[in-house]
């Protein structure tokens, strides 16, 4: 594993936005004070009274990939990003606690003009008809390629192809770069503004922020005890700190 810090335990939290504010509120509510310092190579912080814990401020996407790579022990980020980064979480990551903020749904959306399409079964018909009529597969724009693949496979849809989207996915059908999108939404307003609607059975994942542990990080005895101590403070009502040890690899 790559060593990003010298502290026994590393926790990464989102470096900006509402997720960061919600994390801070959660820490404050548990009586944990975070002191942020600007380090030479990105943002670092620490918790008062927890000298063996280093806090890193990373982008939400980096937190998911760092957990997977084992570069950090703990991380807080959206479940959508975790599941997209590692379709098979088992043995690689442990979701410790849904945090009750950062709610968002990953959904399948089509144009409102498609009045004949309201379910995945309809979409399946349209995919097949489209491949036949237009001699190419219907395109699904998304940044959630893995989630889309497994959801479409469950819905038994195969006549489509994924077009990777870096941003503004909701504009793809109007721009003509894809016919269907899989994207994240909280209220559905952005989708509606772009003339799109969510399929009745098109919710792939009801996501929220998760506290997750990497199973490939370097779990030394010091890291384990620092982790238990921190979680007992952050989440006293939940006996998860007792159960956590069983899920972590032995040092």
Partner 1 sequence: MVTFPYYQTSAMEALNAQAMALLNLFAARGYVREEPAVLQPAEIFLNRSGEEIRRRTFTLTDPSGRDLALRPDLTIPICREAVLANRALPARISYNGLVFRHQPGEPNRPTQFFQAGVELLGLGNARAGDAEILTLAVESLRVCGLKDFSLRIGDLALFGALVDGLSLPPQWRARLKRHFWRAGYVESLLHWLGHGDSAPKLPGSRAEIEALLQADAPLAGRTREEIISRAMDRAAEAASLHLDSKIADAIAELLDISGPAQEALAKIRALLKTIGINLDPQLAAMEARLATLKSLGVDLSRVQFTAHFGRNMEYYTGFVFELWARDKEGPVQVAGGGRYDSMMEMLGAKTPVSAVGCALRTERVLAAKMAGGA
- Please report, as ranges, the residues that interact with partner 1 according to CB under 8 A: 87-88, 110-116, 118, 121-122, 124-126, 128-130, 133-139, 149, 152-153, 156-162, 173-174, 176, 179-180, 195-196
Q: State in angstroms the smallest separation of the CB of 208 from partner 1.
A: 26
CA atoms of 135 and 106, how far apart (whole Å): 29
Nearer to partner 1, 101 or 114 (CB): 114
CA atoms lying within 13 Å on the CB side of residue 81: 22
Q: How far is the CB of 179 from partner 1 (least distance, A)?
A: 4
Q: Answer yes or no: are the C-beta atoms of 34 and 47 closer than 8 Å.
A: yes
As a residue count, the chain comes to 251
CB of 243 to partner 1, least distance (A): 26
The pairs formed by 194-197 with CB atoms below 8 angstroms and a separation of 24 or more are: 194/170, 195/111, 195/112, 195/113, 196/109, 196/110, 196/111, 196/112, 196/170, 197/109, 197/110, 197/111, 197/112
Comparing CB distances to partner 1, the nearer of 32 and 121 is 121
Q: Which is nearer to partner 1, 166 or 237 (CB)?
A: 166
Q: Which is nearer to partner 1, 18 or 136 (CB)?
A: 136
Instruction: Pick the closer one to partner 1 by CB: 105 or 124.
Output: 124
Q: How far is the CB of 83 from partner 1 (least distance, A)?
A: 15
Query: Rounded to the nearest 5°, which phi and psi values hold at 222?
Result: -65, -40
- In the complex, what is the shortest distance from the CB of residue 77 to partner 1, in angstroms, rounded to a whole number? 23
The pair of structure tokens assigned to 23 is 């994390």
């Amino acid at each position: 594993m790559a060593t990003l810090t010298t502290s026994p335990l590393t926790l990464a939290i989102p470096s900006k936005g509402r997720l960061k504010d919600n994390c801070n509120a959660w820490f404050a509510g548990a009586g944990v004070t975070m002191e942020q310092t600007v380090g030479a190579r990105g943002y670092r912080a620490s918790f008062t009274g927890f000298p063996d814990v280093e806090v890193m401020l990373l982008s939400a996407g980096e937190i998911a990939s760092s957990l997977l790579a084992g570069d950090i022990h703990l991380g807080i980020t959206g479940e959508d990003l975790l599941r997209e980064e590692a379709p098979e979480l088992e043995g690689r990551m442990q979701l410790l606690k849904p945090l009750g903020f950062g709610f968002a749904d990953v959904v399948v959306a089509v144009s409102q003009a498609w009045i004949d399409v309201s379910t995945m079964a309809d979409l399946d018909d349209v995919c097949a008809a489209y491949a036949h009529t237009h001699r190419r597969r219907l395109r699904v724009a998304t940044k959630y390629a893995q989630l889309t693949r497994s959801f479409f496979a469950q819905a038994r849809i195969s006549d489509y192809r994924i077009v990777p989207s870096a941003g503004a996915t909701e504009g793809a059908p109007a721009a003509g770069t894809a016919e269907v999108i899989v994207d994240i939404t909280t209220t559905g307003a952005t989708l509606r503004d772009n003339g799109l609607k969510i399929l009745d059975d098109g919710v792939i994942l009801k996501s929220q922020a998760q506290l997750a542990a990497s199973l490939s990080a370097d779990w030394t005895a010091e890291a384990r005890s620092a982790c238990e101590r921190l979680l007992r403070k952050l989440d006293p009502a939940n006996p998860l700190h007792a159960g956590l040890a069983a899920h972590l690899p032995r040092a």
